[in-house]
Structure 1
Amino acid sequence: MSTGTVAGHAEPAAEPSAGPAVQGPAHAGGALGAVALPPRAERAERAQAAAERLRPAGIDAVAVTWVDNAGIARVKAVPLAGLVHAAEWGIGAAPCFDVFLADDTIVTSRLIGGPTGDLRLYPDLDRLVPLAAQPGWAWAPGERYTQAGTPHPGCQRLFARRMTGAAAERGIGLKAGIEVEWVVALAGEPQEEPRYPTAGPAYGMHRLTDLSDYLRELLRALDAQGLTVLQVHPEYAPGQFEVSLAPEGPVEAADTSVLVRQTIRAVSARHGLRASFAPVVEAGSVGNGGHLHLSLWRDGRNLARGGPGPHGLTAEAEGFLAGVLGALPELLVLGSSSPAGYLRLVPSHWAGAYQCWGLENREAALRLVTGSTGERATAANAEIKCFDATANPYLAVGAVLAAGLAGVDQRLALPPEFSGDPAEAGPGTVPRLPASAAEAIAAYRKSAVLREALGEALYEAVLAVRTAESEQYASATPEQLVAATRWRY
């Protein structure tokens, strides 16, 4: 549950800096485009400079992460002395990780799966940073290529970069931010029910006081890693907190969400605590969201302001949001990955369970945020409330861009907005979003936009993972489902 944070969505830079250079146009369709690796000599030179910078800081090893289709961050690590080789030649990573489930069961899909084959995982040196709460370690997100050096069609980060490039081809720049909610509990056995270190009330100063040293160390660690925190506060559920970061480009925002969660885990461990980002930590309670904020820009202008559409939306912004709103049932497959997410997505819990939009409406799945009078030209953005932290953030942002750009291309218009709680509007008045993974999967199967944008290999790998997990937990009680996923995320 979140009150939502109004982020200052300042104008994005003309050219994103993170990730290997994008050479040539990026396409909106399933084609990989030209997300080519820079020359090997250039990668080696930059890695050598990075290693020389990190060595005096006491860094011994670099963790390189990617996020699989179940929403789990996986990792390969190299000693600092091996960073240059990793940048030159990549780190071996089997393609079967694309069909891992959250409990580490391995399935298969038509184009990805099985024991044969290998990929190369390349660290993004632009995001390489020492981990402030893990002394001796640095971190970088990774991208996966084939052994021949061509983009892996199942790489989720490359997908997000292609969709960002597709927006740029239309002259649209984007800023994004992903809210991070978590529940902190006392460390215990792997399947133990959570025991909370604070009994403070929802949003209460009591809770912040109880854990002030913990939160202060977290803020210091995030700052040391170059991240700009907008706010941190207690949330609604027992032991629950939220941190909001400054908006960035879509790929960078996804990177940051991975880094923030890793930092929270590390700081928690140093305080004898553990963190859960699962959508529901106790059955029947309010859960953790992973709300995605987006703003669109053209020529230095926020497209959410100064237009003829509702609340000043330009035609492009309205088309984008209409495309996203219409695609929310299938987008849930990418934005709420686990079957446990549907235990959170219930009416009257500010989770966005209904397929509607509204100005500052926290029950609508799509909330328009304008900000205070005087700052709206920079602050106005849209929030997708039905997403949670089981999502692979690269898939989530990339798929939202694909749906939104389709709405721009088709010049869609938003339906009438809804004010208030849709649950009180009467049966059938406002469409309910899928109430189960199976319902969302059925919508995903029908989506030509997502199939084209993801490409067949990634589209089918996601489908295989979602279908397997849906079947895996089809007969589970809410308590069993929560217990199975509570400490996986």
Structure 2
Amino acid sequence: MVMDTRDVIQQTQAAKIRLVRFLYCDNGGIIRGKATHAQKLANRMREGIGQTLAMQAFTGVETLATVEGMGPVGEFRLQPDPETFVVLPYVLNTASMLCDMVRLDGVPWEACPRSFLKRMIARLAEHNMRAEIGVEHEFYLARDVEGQYAPADYSACYSSIGMDEQSMVVDSILAALEAQGFAVELFHTELGPSQQELSLSHTDALRAADQVLRVRETVRGVARLFKLYASFAPKPFLDQGGNGAHIHLSLWGTDKHERAQQNLFYDAQQPGSLSQTGLYFIGGVLRHLHALVAITCASPNSYRRLLPHFWSSAYDAYGFDNREGAIRVPSLFRGREAESSNLELKSADHSGNPYLSIGALIAAGLDGIVNKIKPGEAQAIDPGNYSDEERERFGIHRLPTTLDDALDALEQDRVLLDALGPLLATSYIAVKREEASFFLEKSPEEEAVQHFYKY
């Protein structure tokens, strides 16, 4: 069902909604917004809600980065997308929509992350391609124990005990997601104590990014009802496994007769059934990966997760079902081989703004396709098990070990900078430099605690 303003007003009245949140995700990866009273919703949907330009220079540590034109003067508008309207099942009389940032004349603001993703989707369309995206969401459930976060249980990886321990909160999370119209694929316990993993069905790139925000909001909101904290921080417990937001992507286009949509990554005649287009896409991502992780692994805490031998992809390598490669080519499912062909980017987490992460991933991969960038040899072992000399021979390099190192790479990557555009790139890098600087003199424990609550 295609939603418009009239539909939103009708549903708001039918559900007796009092407040409607206008939400967005900023350069710091924080979900922010304002709420309008339902009586003013029609006007607000037409006019948007005002927000200072400085908010795109606001950091995840609540400081203001220095960005020209993003100070106390000037506004943009939060313009809601009616298609994203949902009644929130975990708070009273409240609904929300996700927003674009537009200038006062209604034109998309150049610093808007959601508009950036729309531009990358349009760029794909120029090549008669579209992206389908699915994201694996990892998070911890925790309790406050004498002022400190502690796992809600201590079950083992994939343990049925863990499923039982958190069955009530998990069922409530699933019900809340289903009430918002989302199709859940999988839910299971993960490596760490009380760590969970949730996967939704794949969808178009913009809706997939929207869903990332919805999942974060819903899981945290439902957990609070059970007096629990849910954290999507990359490394909330320093001695446990990290949380990823693995991005699964496939490209679709018409066949040579321009009749049927087909998965452009699938070729049954090639090794692993991976097409040449898929290989070129991997080549582009690997070429830009050291800069890309500044966007997909966007916090200082991210680089405590990207460690060798932790199944989180510490090297710029790829392989077929290789979970230590930055890009995994998953095995196909019998009976739907063509449909299930996709690539998984493992070096991504929830501190990254999903519109920026998915948009930048598309930009990198499309560069590979356009310029026919070869990815090199697929790796059949953990790249961390090679000697330095062997890795050099294969052209495999360690990914950046700090956010600053990744930002250095981003500042040198013309493809990603040009895709972002000057204002978005400048403001993003300034925000991330400020965050990196803030944690330089903080202990790892302080860093983990601060990221725990924010994400």
TM tier relative to shorter chain: over 0.9
Q: Contact between 2:61 and 2:435, CA under 8 Å: does it hold in 1?
A: no
- 2:424 counterpart SS class: helix
Structure 2 matches for 1:145-160, cutoff 5 A?
A: 145-160=102-117
What is the TM-score when the length of structure 1 is the normalising length? Answer: 0.88
Partner Cα separation in structure 1 for residue 144 and residue 219 of structure 2: 14
Partner Cα separation in structure 1 for residue 46 and residue 270 of structure 2: 50
Label 1:18 to 1:56 Cα distance change in 2 as closer, same or farther (>3 A). closer
Give the aligned partner of residue 90 of structure 2: 133
Structure 2 matches for 1:18-167, cutoff 5 A?
A: 46-110=4-68, 112-167=69-124
Label 1:87 to 1:188 Cα distance change in 2 as closer, same or farther (>3 A). farther
Q: Deviations over 1:284-303 (max 9, x none)?
A: 32111111110011121111
Give the aligned partner of residue 249 of structure 1: 204
Match of 1:351 among 312, 316, 320: 312
Give the aligned partner of residue 142 of structure 2: 185
Partner Cα separation in structure 2 for residue 313 and residue 237 of structure 1: 33
Give the aligned partner of residue 277 of structure 1: 232
Shift of 1:18: 8.4
Shift of 1:477: 2.8
The farther-off stretch of 251-260 and 371-380 is 371-380
Q: Contact between 1:280 and 1:286, CA under 8 Å: does it hold in 2?
A: yes
Q: How many pairs align?
A: 444
Give the aligned partner of residue 353 of structure 2: 392
Q: Contact between 2:281 and 2:365, CA under 8 Å: does it hold in 1?
A: yes
Q: Contact between 1:230 and 1:244, CA under 8 Å: does it hold in 2?
A: yes
Which residue type is aligned with residue 47 of structure 1? Answer: T
Shift of 1:135: 3.0
Q: Where has structure 1 moved over 4 Å in runs of 4 or more? A: 307-310
Structure 2 matches for 1:361-380, cutoff 5 A?
A: 361-380=322-341
Q: Contact between 1:90 and 1:120, CA under 8 Å: does it hold in 2?
A: yes
Q: Contact between 1:307 and 1:315, CA under 8 Å: does it hold in 2?
A: no
Which residue type is aligned with residue 162 of structure 2? Answer: R
Give the aligned partner of residue 257 of structure 2: none
- 2:148 counterpart SS class: coil
Q: Deviations over 1:174-229 (max 9, x none)?
A: 1001211111112468xx42223222222100011011111111111111110000
Which residue type is aligned with residue 407 of structure 1? Answer: G
Partner Cα separation in structure 2 for residue 450 and residue 283 of structure 1: 31
Match of 2:406 among 440, 446, 462: 440
* In the alignment, structure 1 residue 219 sits paired with structure 2 residue 174: yes
Q: Deviations over 1:252-283 (max 9, x none)?
A: 10100100110101110111111111011112
Q: Contact between 2:87 and 2:95, CA under 8 Å: does it hold in 1?
A: yes
Partner Cα separation in structure 2 for residue 309 and residue 415 of structure 1: 15
Partner Cα separation in structure 2 for residue 483 and residue 388 of structure 1: 17
Partner Cα separation in structure 1 for residue 270 and residue 332 of structure 2: 17
Structure 2 matches for 1:229-308, cutoff 5 A?
A: 229-299=184-254, 300-306=261-267
User: Structure with the greater relative contact order (CA < 8 A, sep ≥ 6): 1 or 2?
Assistant: 1
Partner Cα separation in structure 1 for residue 238 and residue 144 of structure 2: 20
Q: Deviations over 1:115-165 (max 9, x none)?
A: 110011111001101112223111111001111222100000000011001
Q: Contact between 1:281 and 1:287, CA under 8 Å: does it hold in 2?
A: yes
Match of 1:459 among 412, 425, 435: 425
- 1:459 counterpart SS class: helix
The farther-off stretch of 368-377 and 71-80 is 368-377
Partner Cα separation in structure 2 for residue 366 and residue 198 of structure 1: 31
Which residue type is aligned with residue 203 of structure 2? Answer: E
Give the aligned partner of residue 422 of structure 1: 383
Partner Cα separation in structure 2 for residue 134 and residue 188 of structure 1: 25
Give the aligned partner of residue 446 of structure 2: 480
Q: Contact between 1:51 and 1:81, CA under 8 Å: does it hold in 2?
A: no
Structure 2 stretches of 5 or more lacking a match? 255-260
Partner Cα separation in structure 1 for residue 77 and residue 269 of structure 2: 48
Label 1:69 to 1:18 Cα distance change in 2 as closer, same or farther (>3 A). farther
Partner Cα separation in structure 2 for residue 399 and residue 309 of structure 1: 27
Q: Contact between 1:90 and 1:121, CA under 8 Å: does it hold in 2?
A: yes
Percent same amino acid at aligned positions? 32
Partner Cα separation in structure 2 for residue 186 and residue 474 of structure 1: 28
